[in-house]
Amino acid sequence: GNSVTQMEGPVTLSEEAFLTINCTYTATGYPSLFWYVQYPGEGLQLLLKATKADDKGSNKGFEATYRKETTSFHLEKGSVQVSDSAVYFCALSELAGNTPLVFGKGTRLSVIA
């Protein structure tokens, strides 16, 4: 079956530090890949997505590249801000077929000033 593995948290960084959150996946077909963000007390928001190999998703300074050869979709940001403190979820959905999102367990990021 499909699964997503992401790095365990929590991750604590100083403001303006570089962020990487690792995500790898297992899928039987050709999945779309997503990063969702959950701010404290809120629901999940789509941060970025990629639907095929070598696609780069980007939003709000965050980037992730769909690497089929390494089955990875690592999230990066060059300079984090305190407002980036949240829980980040990697997820996948099959491009073909009627499959809902499958999530990783989430990584909590805390950015300190």
Partner 1 sequence: NAGVTQTPKFQVLKTGQSMTLQCAQDMNHEYMSWYRQDPGMGLRLIHYSVGAGITDQGEVPNGYNVSRSTTEDFPLRLLSAAPSQTSVYFCASSSTGAYGYTFGSGTRLTVV
Query: Which residue lies nearer to partner 1 by CB, 34 or 62?
Result: 34
Count the site residues for partner 1 by CB under 8 A: 24
CA 47/CA 59 separation, integer angstroms: 6
Tell the smallest beta-carbon distance from residue 31 to partner 1 (Å): 8
Contact between residue 91 and residue 102 where contact means Cβ atoms under 8 Å apart: yes
Query: Which residue lies nearer to partner 1 by CB, 74 or 88?
Result: 88
Instruction: Mark the segment that binds partner 1 (CB under 8 A) among 14-22, 67-75, 78-86, 98-106.
Output: 98-106
Tell the smallest beta-carbon distance from residue 108 to partner 1 (Å): 10
Angle at 50 between CA 9 and CA 36, to 5 degrees: 35
DSSP reduced 3-state for 82 = helix
- Does the protein bind partner 1 through residue 111 (CB under 8 A)? no
- Distance, CA of 61 to chain centre: 13
User: Amino acid letter at 48?
Assistant: L
* Footprint of partner 1 (CB under 8 A): 32, 34, 36, 42-46, 49, 51, 89, 93-96, 98-106
